Each structure stands twice: as C-alpha cells, then as structure tokens.
Chain A
Amino acid sequence: MIPAPFTYKRAFSIDEALDLAARDGEDAKFLAGGHSLLPLMKLRLAVPEVLIDIGRLGELRYVREQDGHIAVGAATSHDELARSGLLLRELPLLAHAASQVGDPQVRHRGTIGGSLVHADPAADLPAVALALDATLVARGPSGSREIAAGEFFQSLFETALEPDELLTEIRFPRPDSPASWAFQKFTKRAIDWAIVGVAVQDGNVALVNMGQTPLRAAAVEQALAAGASPRDAAAHAAEGTSPSTDINGDARYRQHLARVLVGRALEESRSRA
C-alpha cells in the first residue's frame, strides 16, 4: 500500500510552514511523525495534495517550565515525553500515558501534537490533555491563539483548528497533587487502540473511546466533589457517553468497561497520592 500521489515540501521554520499552508490551503496537511496521517493516506481515507513536513523543526520539540506551567512543543515524540525528567516529576500522568502509546517504534516517531490534531477518540493523549486541563496554542497567519482542550475536540477527527493553523504548543497547568494520577486502558493486544480508557488527575476524570470525542466524565467528577467514594463515583462513569459499537465490543460493553476502569483508576490515584 502506498499513498495517493502528493507533493512533499519540507519546512525549515514555523513561519515557513505557515507560509506554505497559506499557499496550499485545504489541499495541504502538516506532517510531523506521520503515524496518524500516513496510515490514513495509505488507506486513501486522507488524500492531501501537499504534505508540509514539520518533523525536523527543533523549535517544536521541547518540554520546559514556563510562566508557572509546563509547556510541550507539538512535535515532541511520545518517547521523549515518556523519558522527560520534568514530566516524570511534575506531570507523571502525561509521561506514563505517552509510554503506553502504540509500541516503541511508534513512540520514536509519533508526536503529541499529531495525536491531538488527529482527534481520534480512541487515542490516549487527547483524553490525557482533557484530564490535565491543557491549553493548546495554535499559530496562523494572523498570530497565535489559545484553545482550551475542552473546546478543541469538536467531533470525530474534527478539531477547532483552521486549515491554515498549526498546533505549536500544549500548555499544562501544574496539578494540585502531581502524584494523584492514574491511567487505565483496556485492549485485546498490547499495541491495540483502547477499547475504553480513562485518565485521572486529582478530581478530573477523562474517558477514551466513549463517544465521538474524548470526554470528561462530568457525573463522576461531581460525585467525587460531593464526597462520594471511588466505587460510588465510578457508577456514574457511563452517564452522558455515547460509545460506538464495533468489532471490539458493543456500546453496553463499553459502558460497563468505563465503570470498571474508572473505579480502578480512582482507587489507583488515591493510593498514589
């Protein structure tokens, strides 16, 4: 399988990438690690006419403390996130979840920005960004703007980004209690996408693959805030969800899994805190 023909262009700066995107408009896609986009292109589910390679832009690869929050460059690989001393210390949920994406080869190439803009509800990092109340920074022809993670994921594979905008940075506020985290995902085989997953940070609970977008489990969070036990709060995990039915399980099975996994994750985060 090879992708349909396209024109490859390599950007040597963010500004050049934006110029190229402005020129080619909706026919162009940014390419970083390519581990979401190239498989879709091989299946002809995506047929961009131009690929703008941003994979070599060092200015998009970093993890650093910045103005009281933690800033991550959009082209930072999963492997780099998983090994980051700063994240392991200050944001262990993100480091751990990144270490669970795909397999080592995928983590060497795949990037956090690519995973977020691909907006697959079965992916791990979109739910983690939601649980961590991340802010996404997009740059376009008229400058930068900030988008809250809760506003970013709009539908299946749909985000708030405009075609001429590039996700450049993800900003994570410091959690109240960094150690109070958990990440659970249920798969049939190690490298599979989550049938259901859950990310917990303090009182925030986000779900993987329980609807068209990653979701916050609002009813669980409200129950926790009102003092419910993890087990009682987890009973609300399927409320407000609309999971799909596919070869891995039907909607009712996913709702059952969500209750079980949220319960485990809440217990786990409490035992760490």
Chain B
Amino acid sequence: MKVTIKVNGNPVAAEVADRTLLVHFVREVANLTATNVGCDSTSCGACTVLLDGRSVKSCTVLAAQADGCEVTTVEGLADGSGEMHPVQTAFHAEHGLQCGFCTPGMVMAAVSLLDENPSPTEEEVRTALEGNLCRCTGYHNIVRAVLAAAPATSERRSA
C-alpha cells in the first residue's frame, strides 16, 4: 500500500508491503538508521521513536498504522542549526551510554517522559524507562542524564 509518513518533518512516501513494520520503514525507506532493532519483540525499547509526539516501540507498529502521522527519530531532535536537544547534551555530559546501542531508543523514551512529566523525581525516571533495556548496565548515568536534562528541556519547549 502507499504510505506517507512525515519523518523528522520531511514527508516520506513509498509503496510498501502491508506487513512492513514502522522500524523498517524508518531504517530502509527513510534511510534513517540510528533507530535500532534490538529484541524485535516489544521488550527492549531500542526501536523507540515518537509517533505523533508519544513514545512507541516501532517494531510493534505497522507502517500502515502510521500513515499520515508524524514520526520523530533521534536524528530529528537537534534544532535547525544542529544544536543538540538537551536530552542528547545531558547523555553526553553525564556519560549516559557505553556501547550506545540502546541510546537512540533511551533518548526518545526520555524525551517522551519529559514531555509528559517536565520535572520527574529519580524514581519516576526509573519507572518511566522500564521499557528500555541497557545491557551495559549503564542505568545510573542514564537516570542522572534525564534528571539533568529536565530544566533545559522545559525551557526549550517554552522558548
């Protein structure tokens, strides 16, 4: 079927098989390969993107279900001048990653969290990231990064 999805602000239209998953549309049709396929079974969160502003696991959404919607991947977070999103900056500053495989999904889950809850407690951050697995066991710095990013994320949104 013909699917048109606005990915990071750019409409991407393609004829795809009905069974195409959103994550494959993002990686292979839109050619944005930061979003990773991890477990492929709705567990690990590596494929997390924003669908109309809310975090979803793109291995468990059909491209057809996202037809006409807006998808944001980690490549779309920096602003027009290339300045990183506060969550990206904080992951860098707090060393919120080791191997980096979970990072694109982790960052998108964090962005969605801060949109819903602009000043979360540490416990709320840990709970909100329950759908994202980090096999380097780097959770501590990830949580620190999300907490550090909260004020600047609120400022950026109200700017």
Contact = CB atoms under 8 A, between A and B. Distances in A.
A38 B56 contact: no
Interface stretch (B37-45, B75-83, B92-100, B147-155): B37-45
Interface residues of B, number: 32
B56 A3 contact: no
Nearest to B57: A105
A104 B110 CA distance: 11
Contacts of A8: 1, 18-19, 62, 64
A97 B62 CA distance: 27
Contacts of B45: 103, 105
Contact of A4 (B19, B54, B109, B127): B19
Contact of B56 (A5, A39, A53, A108): A108
B112 interface: yes
Nearest to B112: A104
Contacts of B109: 104-105
Contacts of A156: none
Contacts of A53: 64-65
Interface string B16-34: 0111110010000000000
Contacts of A2: 19-21, 24
Interface in A5-41: 5-8, 10, 31, 34-35, 38-39
B60 A35 contact: yes
B130 A103 contact: yes
A181 to B, nearest CB: 20
A42 B62 CA distance: 12
Given A34-B61, A34-B65, A106 B41 contact: no
A105 B48 contact: yes
Given A5-B19, A6-B18, A105 B64 contact: no
A109 interface: yes
Contacts of A106: 42, 57, 131
B95 to A, nearest CB: 24
B12 interface: no
A102 interface: yes
A93 B42 CA distance: 26
Contacts of A214: none
A109 B19 contact: no
Contact of A38 (B17, B18, B60, B131): B60
A5 B17 CA distance: 8
B43 A191 contact: yes
A39 B42 CA distance: 8
Interface in B52-91: 54-57, 60-62, 64-65, 67
A42 B1 contact: no
A101 to B, nearest CB: 11
A130 B80 CA distance: 52
* Residue with the greatest number of chain A CB neighbours at <10 A, chosen from B1, B19, B48, B132: B19
Interface string A86-112: 000000000000000011111011000
Contact of B55 (A1, A5, A104): A104
21 contacts: A6-B19, A8-B19, A34-B60, A34-B61, A38-B60, A38-B61, A39-B60, A53-B65, A55-B65, A103-B45, A103-B130, A104-B130, A105-B42, A105-B45, A105-B48, A105-B55, A105-B57, A106-B57, A108-B54, A108-B56, A109-B57
Given A34-B65, A35-B42, 8 more contacts: A51-B18, A55-B65, A103-B130, A104-B113, A105-B56, A109-B56, A109-B60, A190-B130
